[in-house]
Amino acid sequence: MNTREQLRMLILAVLERQPEHGYAIAQAIKSRSEGLLTAREGTLYPALHALEAEGLIQSEEHEVAGRVRREYRLTESGRRVLARSRKAWQQQVSAVQAVLGGSS
């Protein structure tokens, strides 16, 4: 799984809990990873647009404190893709652990 696919999986995982706007998604990734992972604006928003174009997330604009924010939510297709991504990630982690843990 490459970095782009990882970011897509992380975004879907954040949106699994609740709808969020872009900045909140980036903050959730950072806080849940204890600062080890970041989603920079230059990669986050193109990923959000691609996920929306694929029907994995939907967005709506909401006015909050006089500002318009775009809020993203996971679709059912997004939930299915997230489940498959989690499985693929676990397989990849297991494979790396098998290599790292080996004493050959």
What's the average model confidence in pLDDT over 27-45? Answer: 95
What pLDDT does 102 receive?
Answer: 63
Rg (the chain; Cα; Å): 15
The reported pTM is: 0.90
Strands 57-64 and 20-21: unpaired
Categorize the per-residue pLDDT at 64 as very low, low, confident or very high, splitting at 50, 70 and 90: confident
What's the average model confidence in pLDDT over 17-43? Answer: 95
| CA 40 – CA 5 distance, rounded (Å) | 15
Is 3-99 in CATH node 3.30.200.20? no
> What percentage of the chain reaches a pLDDT higher than 90?
85
What pLDDT does 103 receive?
Answer: 57
Residue type, 32: R
| CA 98 – CA 89 distance, rounded (Å) | 14
- Does pLDDT of 43 surpass 90? yes
